[in-house]
Amino acid sequence: MISISTTTVQTVGNLIFQETAKKTKVRDLKARVSRTGTLDGECVITHSGITDADRTLDIRANLTEDQADDLQTIFEAELFVMLSCSRGLFYGSIDSGCNISNGDLRMKFLVQEKMNA
């Protein structure tokens, strides 16, 4: 289950829908790792940790026409939203990749921070 809520008062303030479980990716988390070659032919690997701010949630779902309209309104009106899913509550922004075609949603959510309970 996915919930998207606006952070300001809007006509459409909250949208709840069921994601397509096998296609939605909310568990992907990457480390801040870089590898730099050195002059002696070896390399240096720098690991700067893991943070939720590096997450991009890839959301897939089937939406009704009303849900698609509500999501489009939220997307156009809000810079930042709250997204709740099985991995927690996140504050961030819907990427420009919010595509709805024949009710099939394909959306990327850029996480700014994970909210603590």
Which CATH number does 2-115 carry? 2.40.30
The phi-psi region of residue 99 (left if phi > 0; otherwise alpha if psi is between -120 and 50; otherwise beta) is beta
Mean pLDDT of the chain: 88
Inform me whether the pLDDT recorded for 15 exceeds 70.
yes
For residue 110, what pLDDT band results from cuts at 50, 70 and 90? very high
Q: Are 97 and 107 in contact (CB under 8 A)?
A: yes
3-state secondary structure of 110: strand
Question: Where is pLDDT greater, at 61 or 9?
Answer: 61
Q: 104: which strand partners?
A: 62, 101
Q: Are 26 and 86 in contact (CB under 8 A)?
A: yes
Side chain identity, residue 88: G
pLDDT at residue 84, rounded to an integer: 93
The angle formed by the CA atoms of residues 11, 12 and 15, to the nearest 5 degrees, is 165
Residues 6+ apart with CB under 8 A from 9: none
Inform me whether the pLDDT recorded for 21 exceeds 70.
no
Q: In what helix (H) or strand (E) does residue 68 lie, and over which residues does it extend?
A: helix 65-77
